[in-house]
Amino acid sequence: MEKLDLKKQLRHLFNPQKHEFADIVVPTMPFVKVDGAGDPNSSAVYRQAVEWLYGVSYAMKFAAKNELNRDYVVPPLEALWWSDDPGTFARREKDRWQWVVMIMAPEFVTNTMFEDAVAKTLAKRNDRPLSLRFEPYSEGRSLQILHIGSYDDEGPTLKHLHDDVMLELGVTFNGPHHEVYLSDPRKIAPAKLKTILRQPVRPV
């Protein structure tokens, strides 16, 4: 059975350069999502959300394999971040952030498979997030770059994006700041973490 890897199929989304921002168009894709707010480093709600995302995503993967004879690699964790003041990202004022954590799924995964996966996960734990859902996310034109290093070192890159790159291109914000986590922080040293930084934009 061939295993679909969305990171390879959508290589232009998951393999950006680290020296300059790329101007890309992101297609609409389905995601399992959970909402929240506050500092992800200290929030039990954030940890709960991530655990549920992985539990449901792997249950969906196994359902696709058993029911559709189609296998796939569970894509990396992603998150949308926003605040009333975008400058909080450059200043790393995490307690003022709102977020959606999410994991992409192939288009052949159905709502029924999602609901079944939720039921299987709920049988193992009783703390389902109220905002847990399965829905498409549309992003469109975006600017992105690969950041290597600690999450807390992203500030200068984001400030350069907001103050210089977007101004030069004549674009403004068109959605939340988006991060794609290519590394597992439990296994990789902070200095070697690889994170895609993405910002949806539109003409001014």
d(CA 157, CA 45): 28
Opening angle at CA 190, ends 142 and 137, nearest 5: 30
Per 3-state DSSP, what percentage of the chain is helix, strand, and coil (rounded to 5)? 35, 30, 35
Find the mean pLDDT for residues 192-199.
Answer: 97
> pLDDT tens, 39-57?
888 888 999 999 999 999 9
Question: For the domain with range 3-203, which CATH number is right: 3.20.80.10, 3.40.640.10, 3.40.190.10, 1.20.59.10?
Answer: 3.20.80.10
- Structure confidence at residue 142 as a pLDDT band (50, 70, 90): very high
Split at pLDDT 50, 70, 90, the class of 84 is confident
